[in-house]
Amino acid sequence: MICLYYVTLRCNDTCEFCQFWQNSDHQNIRESDKEEILPKLREIRRRGAKQLSVTGGEPLLREDLPEILKAAKELGFAVDLTTNCILYPERAKALKGLVNTLYFSLDYPIAEEHDRSRGLACFNTVLRSIRLARELGEKPVIFYTLTRDSVRYLPEMVEIAEKLGVPIFINPVYDLRGLQGFEEETLTYIRYFFKRPNVILNLAALELIKRGGNDPVWPRCRAKETVITLMPDGQQGDPCFFNPGGKQGGEAVCSGCTRWPYMLPSFAKGLDHYYFLNLYSNWYQDRKENVS
């Protein structure tokens, strides 16, 4: 079981594929302080969650983030964190040793394209952050949000990750109509990069895209069984952030869903082709890491 922790919904970026920054309600939601959140983390750890995935919004906007991460590590969580890197250079030393894996968002291999997609100039900051994290002994991974536009730069993105000496996690976009979804030929093209030594790619995700995402009639989502969603105010979003209080995988909002923070863990439940593709993808990824 994974705990997906939205430490804040505030963001200092204006990504073209993200709806968070466009929602004014997200900017005003109350955020629990450390004293409030620690009992929640202890409870979630007792329930069996081993991994804490810290996300947002932009997590580094939380001034008390290092304290929260330190407490999570002391509770035995394996912690990963996703950031746009805008604040990472100034906060890197405070975060050192508190995160198992750092996911640094990079969408294009060209500064002008990445900065256009993000709404401000941050391409060079991402590259600087990757180099700084490696110098500090951290484990940075490029978090590459793949859209119908950015897929044309897939070879260059893999190459830039190789030059920087870091893995690249291919994350097909799931929220913006018009930039998500790929033709079968494109999926075949993406799948070609699966065996590259520095590429992290889940074949079950590509299969779900091919089949049009989650079907509310026969839901593939297992969010309620595999993910605990923790909101900034300490409340739990059940079964997921996007469908609080609803039926797991069976609501209108669930139609065509490919929201990977929930769907990837869901593939570990249920003996079907998604289960075995996910199992193979994880095994092959472990094999690549052991070889390297």
Residues 156-201: pLDDT tens digits?
999 999 999 999 999 998 865 555 678 999 999 999 999 999 999 9
d(Cα 186, Cα 146) in Å, to the nearest integer?
Answer: 11
Report all structural domains of the chain as residue ranges with CATH numbers, in order of start: 2-291 (3.20.20.70)
d(Cα 226, Cα 234) in Å, to the nearest integer?
Answer: 19
- Report pLDDT digits (tens) over 227-281: 999 999 999 999 999 898 999 999 999 999 999 999 999 999 999 999 999 999 9
pLDDT of residue 290: 80
pLDDT band of residue 24 (cuts 50, 70, 90) is: low
- Report pLDDT digits (tens) over 121-149: 999 999 999 999 999 999 999 999 999 89
**The model's pTM:** 0.94
CA 208 from chain center: how many Å? 17
Beta strands of 84-234 (E only): which ranges? 101-105, 140-146, 168-172, 199-200, 227-230
58, 13 contact by CB (below 8 A): yes
Q: What is the dihedral of CA 52, 239, 255, 147, to 10 degrees?
A: -20
Q: Would you state the structure tokens that stand for residue 83, as one six-digit string?
A: 């950031």
7, 55 contact by CB (below 8 A): yes
